[in-house]
Structure 1
Amino acid sequence: MASSSRSCSSSENRNTITLTSSDGLTFEIEENVAVQIKTLRMYLKDLPVNQRKFLVPTVTGDVLAKVIVYCKKHAENPNRDNPNYIQELKIWDKKFVNENDQYALYDLANAAKDLKVKPLIDLTYDTVPNMYELPLRSIRGILPKRYDIEFKKIVAFNASLNSNDVPNNVEEAIRDPKWKKAMEKEMFAFDKNET
């Protein structure tokens, strides 16, 4: 993306609110979308139209864009009492969360919590636990095969750390040729960097 600004507004004659993400991306959203975000709703009534700019320091641009898409879909709600529309919205919500992997969904849940978007909080928090399956009782506590090699490397590394003797003082370090060479390299680096 060449620009650091995204526009989520289809009309310029309506009241818009500018949101800036933690990574500097800016979004212009209409007021009916912004009121879906409780954190903004608290301030909108008191601010003049020309001062409706908010920094969202805890949410990155890609996650904020998803929150805005969600709020925009829920703001365009033409008939909240129509059972068909409610069913369509539930299907859209399910598709919306299923498009994300568990990490993106976790970020989305945190953003919804920070911005106080209650329906999105409920949706993400209901979905996250379903993404994790518990192992069968018979294999709980047994590492999967893919971890065996890494686990063995970690055990070997820890053993090598414990087997190396670390000198307690300078005299002991000077007596060991490896430590003496390491100290000479360090002093050379200090001289070279003039520190």
Structure 2
Amino acid sequence: MADVQAWFRQIVDPRCDVTAMVQVGGGSGCSVARCRVRTRAGEKDLHIKIYKRGMDDYSGLGPIDTARKHSLALVEVPRFGIRVPQVIGMKASEGEAAIVFETVGGGDWAHSARLRAAGALSRLHRIRPSDLSGDLQTLVRRSRPNRDRIVRGIAEYSGQLNLRHPGWHLERADLAQEARGVLASEEP
């Protein structure tokens, strides 16, 4: 929690205190936590995503530029009618980065929520790169395409399975066939 506390003090308020924290996500060397934070203005719930040194989301950008891309996207997409958490701040230091953003209410994944999510995703895919800021355009261009990231992730995971569980492809022929399809750049 000391690491999270230090990031909050750099980004939100030098005198804020993290009074509670729950890890809510992670992967690719990042961590995401929902935190209760006490500031001079009072208590509030905020989320923090920390991009640790050496993290690899397969984008090829590294922790600082991946965080910058994420932060810029969260700031820019609301003008296209896509609701996202508001960015409170972002900071990079010593090869790592963190973004603090507001906590938004959750809920059950009812059918109506799925429809809203599908609508938001559709609007997101209609955004042209030229509609984005120059900084975000540059980061998007430098980032490895999502399709390539998926293929790399599947290749690495299949390789790990081959080492740790020889014969997995015989037990899970369906999964092995899908992996081979993706790796051959076919639709699974």
Whether these two folds match at TM > 0.5 is: no
Q: Which has the higher helix share?
A: 1
Q: Which has the higher strand share?
A: 2
Measured against the shorter chain, the TM-score band is under 0.3
Higher-Rg structure is 1
Superposition TM-score, scaled by structure 1 size: 0.26
